[in-house]
Amino acid sequence: MELNVGNNRSILVVDDENDILSVIQRWLLMHGFKLCAFTDIFSALDHFNSNSEDHDIVISDIRMPGMNGYEFVKQVKKINPQVKIILMSAFEIKDNELSNFLPNLKVDAFIKKPFSLMSINKIVQEQYKQVTKLI
């Protein structure tokens, strides 16, 4: 079942691995989602700073050069506290790691790499269902 978002809002996706980013981008576009995709975390943050109200969901890798995903999420939440956050990582995430980096920050979902495209679709659908309840 596809979710009809029915507005001009979109997803911001950030991953420094272009291959992974391209696969996610194609899959979400194919399933009717609008999105902006970035391999450079600083460009993504600049974009979000100027267009934060256009994005309902941010999907970000955790380990990236220059700034990790935790710091990126902190900055994103300062700009728009309502945005849904989905983090991705190929590494095991421990509870103490989250509490150290994100003590007061709510992360809405995690995606463990390698992932199935169906799992991303399901997680994004679930997050949009929560967003549409608020609109």
Residue 4 lies in a domain: no
Residue 27 lies in a domain: yes
Residue 5 lies in a domain: no
Report the range of poorest mean pLDDT among 24-33, 43-52, 56-65, 125-134: 125-134
Residue 102 lies in a domain: yes
Identify the domain containing residue 85 by its residue range. 10-130
Residue 46 confidence (pLDDT) = 97
Q: What is the tens place of the pLDDT at every residue in 73-112?
A: 999 999 999 999 999 887 665 555 555 655 566 788 888 8
Query: Which among 84, 89, 87 is positioned nearest to 125, based on CA atoms?
Result: 84
CATH number at residue 72: 3.40.50.2300
Q: Is 76 left (phi over 0), alpha (psi -120 to 50) or beta?
A: alpha
Residue 41 lies in a domain: yes
Residue 135 lies in a domain: no
Q: What is the pTM of this model?
A: 0.83
110 strand-pairing partners = 87
**In contact, 22 and 13? CB cutoff 8 Å:** no
Residue 46 lies in a domain: yes
The number of folded domains in the chain is 1
Residue 22 lies in a domain: yes
Q: What is the tens place of the pLDDT at every residue in 36-84?
A: 999 999 999 999 999 999 999 999 999 899 998 889 999 999 999 999 9
Residue 104 neighbours by CB under 8 Å, 6+ apart: none
pLDDT for residue 135 is more than 50: no
